[in-house]
Amino acid sequence: MKKKQYDLNFKRMVVAKGKEIGNMTAVARQHELDPKMVLRWARELNRKDLDQLDGTSVKQSKFVPTAEDYAQLEKENETLKKLFVEQALERDILKDLLKKTNPHLRIK
């Protein structure tokens, strides 16, 4: 099922009629629209996000990392590397201890 696109003038007309009558749901049903969609259009018109109503900015803008983001990622990477080394060392110590206490359970 293909998503239907409505132009900005139609959206404004439906919302204006809904405000005039005082019942957005009734206007939505008159035009065979989902009432939630018409209420969303009204909310977006009140916020003046006309580009969203037009359907042009449906896609999210791309994330552009800053120097602070890179610094934070490098710090997190160093922390994770240290944690990995500590766990590897702990694992080796436990393997050696297991070999000494249980010689029949030799790990190869």
Q: What is the pLDDT of residue 1?
A: 54
Which one-letter amino acid corresponds to residue 29?
A: R
Residue 79 has which token pair?
């922390």
**How far is Cα 65 from Cα 43, in angstroms, rounded to an integer?**
31
pLDDT string in tens for the chain (108-residue length):
567 788 888 888 998 898 888 888 899 999 889 999 998 888 888 776 455 555 554 455 677 889 999 999 999 999 999 999 999 999 999 999 988 887 776 655
Which one-letter amino acid corresponds to residue 108?
A: K
Residue 25 has which token pair?
């749901």
Global confidence as pTM: 0.44
In this structure, the number of other CB atoms found within 10 A of the CB of residue 11 comes to 22
